[in-house]
Structure 1
Amino acid sequence: MILGLGSDLIQIHRIANTIDKYGDRFTQRCFTEIERRKSDRRAQRAASYAKRFAAKEACSKALGTGLSFGVYWRDMGVVNLPSGKPTMHLTNGAAKALARLVPPGHVPHIHLTITDDAGLAQAFVIIEALPANQVDQTPATL
């Protein structure tokens, strides 16, 4: 069953300008170490950060909290499965918000798609609850 849906669209130049103005102060505040390592080695660094920023916004919307109620930027991080498919890893306040959404006997699964084109970065997040006895994947919060 679907528990939450979120989307976000951002202009890449806004993230580029923020990085130019605040540098590590911005990236350290908003992104996990894994996200920073991945984005910092990309040729299109600002686009990589913008996609991850959009994913965090979309995830916070899917959680139904936005960036409030104890959910902070670094509580949500884009990670890639061994296949390369992106998903979200939630910790702290975001993990607690997710736990409140999931009915007993179910585990969360977070679907994420991110893209960029023509100066825009976009992300969609779907949070799904799967019956625990039918899941062969690690829950999104582990």
Structure 2
Amino acid sequence: MIVGIGLDVVEVDRMAQLLARRGEAALRRLFTPAEVDHCRGEPHPAASFAARFAAKEALLKALGTGWQGGVRWIDVEVVRPDAAAPQLQLHGRTAQLAARRGVTRCHLSLTHTAQWAAAVVVLEAA
């Protein structure tokens, strides 16, 4: 049963500007070390960072909680095990919120162009 759907769109240039202004501090606050390594290895890092940022926002929209109650950006991580399709890995307070809602599976779709990045998250419960 679907218990949540979230969508977010991010302007790639805005992400690039944020990273240029805030640098490493922004990276440490918004992304896990694995996400930073992955995005830096991509041909268009700003688009990859923007897509991951959109995924984090979409997940919180799907949960219906927003950024409250101790949720941190790095509690939502986009992983690609064995170069498979991107997946969400939840940590800390975000994992607790998902468990409380009965979430058993998170579906994630990412896309980006030179100008825009988007993510859709669908949450399932048993």
TM bin, normalised by shorter chain, reads: over 0.9
Q: Secondary structure at the match of 1:65?
A: coil
CA contact (8 A) 2:71 2:94 kept: yes
**Among 116, 126, 134, which residue is 2:122 paired with?**
126
CA contact (8 A) 2:88 2:106 kept: yes
Note the aligned Cα RMSD (angstroms): 1.2
TM-score norm. by structure 2 comes to 0.95
The residue number in structure 1 matching 2:63 is 63
TM-score norm. by structure 1 comes to 0.85
Which structure is higher in RCO with an 8 Å CA cutoff and minimum separation 6? 2
Q: Secondary structure at the match of 1:24?
A: helix
CA contact (8 A) 1:65 1:71 kept: no
Uncovered stretches (5+) of structure 1, i.e. residues with no partner: 131-142
Q: CA deviation at 1:82?
A: 3.3
More helix by proportion, 1 or 2?
2
Q: CA deviation at 1:44?
A: 0.3
Q: For 1:82 and 1:42, how far apart are their aligned partners in 2?
A: 16
The residue number in structure 1 matching 2:30 is 30
Uncovered stretches (5+) of structure 2, i.e. residues with no partner: none
What amino acid sits opposite 1:73 in the alignment?
A: W
Q: Deviations over 1:74-115 (max 9, x none)?
A: 00000113361111000001001001100xxxx611000000
Flag the structure with larger Rg.
1
The residue number in structure 1 matching 2:7 is 7
CA contact (8 A) 1:112 1:124 kept: yes
Q: Deviations over 1:7-43 (max 9, x none)?
A: 0001000000001101111011010111011001112
Q: Secondary structure at the match of 1:23?
A: helix
CA contact (8 A) 1:9 1:122 kept: yes
Identical positions, percent = 40
Which consecutive segments of 4 or more residues in structure 1 shift more than 4 A?
A: none
Q: How does 1:1-142 map to 2 (within 5 A)?
A: 1-82=1-82, 84-102=84-102, 108-130=104-126
CA, structure 1 residues 128+81, in 2 after alignment: closer, same or farther (shift >3 Å)? farther
How many residues are matched? Answer: 126
Q: CA deviation at 1:122?
A: 0.3
